[in-house]
Amino acid sequence: MPVTIVGGGLAGCEAAWQLLRRGHRVRLLEMRPSVETGAHDGDGLAQLVCSNSLKGKGLSSAHGCLKAEATVLGSLLLEVAGEVSIPAGGALAVERAAFSAAVEERLLKAGVELVREELTEFPAFPVVIASGPLTSPALMKSLVKELGAERLFFHDATAPVFTTESLDLKRVFAAGRHGQAADYLNVGLNKEEYLRFREQLINLPRARVHGVEEELADNNFAVFEGCLPIEVLAERSEDALRYGPLRPIGLRTPAGENFYAVLQLRAEDSTRTRYNLVGCQTRLTPLAQRALFRSLPGLEQAEFVRYGRMHRNSYLNGYQLLNPTLELRGQRGIFVAGQLSGAEGYTEAIATGLLAGLNLDRRLRGLDPLTPPAVSLLGALTRTIAGKGLLHKSGVPAPVNVNFGLLPPLNGPKVKKKKERKEAYSQRSQAAMHVFRYGINN
Ligand SMILES: Cc1cc2nc3c(=O)[nH]c(=O)nc-3n(C[C@H](O)[C@H](O)[C@H](O)COP(=O)(O)OP(=O)(O)OC[C@H]3O[C@@H](n4cnc5c(N)ncnc54)[C@H](O)[C@@H]3O)c2cc1C
């Protein structure tokens, strides 16, 4: 019986791969290009819609630990990400077009049936629903109706991208944080420049998107703390930006000059023809973005390849609907993965897609789906989204990013140094994941 995967994004592609390599016939439904999401660009599979970074790679970072877990389980997307990676200090950044093309090629070679079609009705067993934060309204409506589910959402924005030739490379400086390789371009600001930047952020006009103003005012869970638009951050306090995306710590010019605040630019591709502004997701109007970013030293002539833009991110109430195996409660063989499940972030989408694929394979072999170990970040993530783990103050479950705080404490003597403690969490999770890999495949 062919398996259906709804959505050719990060989670859907990873789930498709896991099922293909276990011998299943896979139909992958992707609605683009006939139905657009507003954030994806064209019809490529596995697109990174905003940043081109999958975050940290080292085992002292939670995202590095989750990547290592997914690698133990045989993730295709992380393997491809490694192949098309570009230098970005401690982060795994990729050339997004090459990443998307390589994933698509691998899936087609493995025999996926790629169907360019929007699913509008609730799907039948066996299926992984991975239609993402921008699930089409028709499908969302069916899911909500069929599942009696609450549809949750928050608002998120993308960050602008500039051409390299339009940047003044004499004024921006190449450097990595804490002496790491000089993979980033940096815009250093003194206090006066920083305060002016913040003032503009607060006062410049924001794009009006139909319905968004009302939702931001009504919905008490309007924005996600994990990726706040910079104008929202600027409003919080004078220093919020300096403790966030404009953090100056560990960044200095080759001559040793320090700054009050620093904006970082990350290359979009290995030829470095375009750069994105790290952590600067915004919904200012395009005109306001031009005024704001061109007021920065070195960006006076910046040409925008893409402007930041606001999007509504939808997800389902996992606490109401999901098992930690990612199977819908009471719906055998129907799995939800990616951001629709309540897991937030690229790596989280890949890892949950992987788990949904592995567990659907188990269902099809007459076995019960499994939950990854509680000491692994994947296990902690799915337990959190399916449990009462993270409730927003409004009472609804918040989307979940991985972090070491989701894990049970370490046994044994206290590891004092933070970095070593994090590595110890990672080592414990790797050991557990090797055992889990054996169990889930048998
Ligand atoms: C604007 C925006 C910016 C983001 N920026 C970041 C970031 O910088 N870093 C980060 O870690 N995370 C970011 N995220 C969050 C999240 O990690 C990404 O959205 C990620 O791509 C989610 O993976 P996914 O597989 O769940 O969904 P997607 O990758 O979006 O894949 C879902 C796919 O399903 C398709 N689809 C939707 N409805 C249907 C339907 N009815 N029938 C058929 N196909 C359908 C879509 O076209 C899409 O290709 C961002 C999200 C948004 C919306």
What are 88-133's pLDDT values in tens digits? Answer: 999 999 999 999 999 999 999 999 999 999 999 999 999 999 999 9
The residue whose CA has the least distance to atom 8 of ligand 1 is 51
Domain co-membership, 138 together with 182:
no
Ligand 1 center to 431 CA (angstroms): 31
From 272, 291, 308, give the residue that closes a domain.
308
The residue whose CA has the least distance to atom 29 of ligand 1 is 9
Check pLDDT > 80 for residue 209: no
CA 190 to chain centre: 31
Candidate from 142, 346, 403 with most ligand 1 atoms within 8 A of CB, to mutate: 346
Domain co-membership, 267 together with 248:
yes
Rounded distance, CA 261 to CA 251, Å?
9
- Ligand 1 site residues, Cβ closer than 6 angstroms: 6-12, 29-32, 37, 39-40, 49-51, 118-119, 130-136, 139, 156, 158, 311, 313, 338-340, 344-346, 349
Angle at the Cα of 32 from the Cα atoms of 25 and 342, rounded to 5 degrees: 75
Check pLDDT > 80 for residue 394: no
- Closest ligand 1 atom, residue 29 Cα: 43
- Closest ligand 1 atom, residue 347 Cα: 11
Region of poorest pLDDT, from 8-22, 111-125, 385-399, 418-432: 385-399
From 265, 283, 308, give the residue that closes a domain.
308
Domain co-membership, 138 together with 262:
no
Domain range for 232 is 161-308
Nearest in space to 230 (alpha carbons), one of 280, 288, 301: 280
User: Where is 230: in which H helix or E strand?
Assistant: helix 230-236
pLDDT of residue 215: 66
Domain co-membership, 53 together with 31:
yes
Domain co-membership, 298 together with 332:
no
Phi and psi for 316 in degrees, rounded to 5?
Answer: -100, 160
Q: Provide the domain count of the chain.
A: 2
Mean pLDDT within 18-43: 96
Domain co-membership, 239 together with 329:
no
Domain co-membership, 137 together with 62:
yes
- 176-180: list long-range contacts, CB under 8 Å, 24+ apart: 176/89, 177/89, 177/249, 177/250, 177/251, 178/250, 179/250, 180/89, 180/90
Judge whether 294 and 162 are in contact, CB under 8 Å: no
Which CATH number is 431's domain given?
Answer: 3.50.50.60
Domain co-membership, 293 together with 420:
no
Check pLDDT > 80 for residue 37: yes
- Closest ligand 1 atom, residue 337 Cα: 26
What are 399-425's pLDDT values in tens digits? Answer: 899 999 999 999 888 888 999 999 999
| Cβ count within 10 A of residue 87 | 16
Domain co-membership, 97 together with 230:
no
From 251, 277, 308, give the residue that closes a domain.
308
Q: Looking at the whole model, is its pTM more than 0.75?
A: yes
Token look-up 């290592």 returns 68
Domain co-membership, 122 together with 248:
no
Judge whether 49 and 338 are in contact, CB under 8 Å: no
| Cβ count within 10 A of residue 131 | 31
Domain co-membership, 176 together with 278:
yes
Ligand 1 center to 50 CA (angstroms): 10
Domain co-membership, 282 together with 393:
no
Which CATH number is 292's domain given?
Answer: 2.40.30
Nearest in space to 397 (alpha carbons), one of 328, 317, 329: 317
Rounded distance, CA 67 to CA 89, Å?
16
Tell me the pLDDT band of 220, cut-offs 50, 70 and 90: very low
Start-to-end CA distance of the chain, whole Å, equals 20
